[in-house]
Amino acid sequence: MDDAQSDHLKAYGVAYRAIQAGLKAEWLLNYRGGSFLIPDADALRRDAALNGVRTEPVDEGAVTTIRGEIEASNMDAVPLEKAPKVAVYAPPNAAPWDDAVTMALQYAGIAFTKIWDPQVISRALREYDWLHLHHEDFTGSTPSFFSSIQACPGSPTWYRATARWRGSSDSRRFPI
């Protein structure tokens, strides 16, 4: 996925759906920016075209050449055999633009489920293969930010609502 690729994020979605459909794929790390090697299929080409993703057919000779280049350089081919079930740990009131990873997953067309403390406590994590943790949970600065913005006249309604939620009994229901 070098500069010839028209939409890098959508390419991840195409690869994800190919694996979901049972195709074996390889992620060619550091080869042309991290390309995917996936068996040719009409449905795959159609999915790529509909998503604005550039594909490049290669024959067995080209695959052999690619593998030789990978072997001789700081590159690797990682087999992708199972589409992971993805969860994103985020507050139930998180705005859609609040986390870059959820925006990227949505844009790429990769399915995910938002989970929060009740699901973690009930051990629902074992249902997922990959968990993305919402970044603000680790900074320690979010409570002071929300308490300062809440007092500002004219502050956006969603800031004030989030600050109220963070101070509610729901946000403290599951102490560590």
> For the chain, how big is the Rg over CA atoms in Å?
21
The residue with tokens 């489920």 is 113
| Other beta carbons within 10 Å of 2 | 10
pTM: 0.73
| Other beta carbons within 10 Å of 71 | 10
pLDDT tens string for the chain (176 positions)?
566 777 788 999 999 999 999 999 999 999 998 899 999 999 999 999 999 999 999 999 999 999 999 999 999 999 999 999 999 998 888 877 778 888 899 999 999 999 999 999 999 999 999 998 865 545 555 555 555 655 555 555 655 565 555 555 554 554 44
User: d(Cα 104, Cα 152) in Å, to the nearest integer?
Assistant: 31
Look up residue 78 and give its two tokens.
């990682």
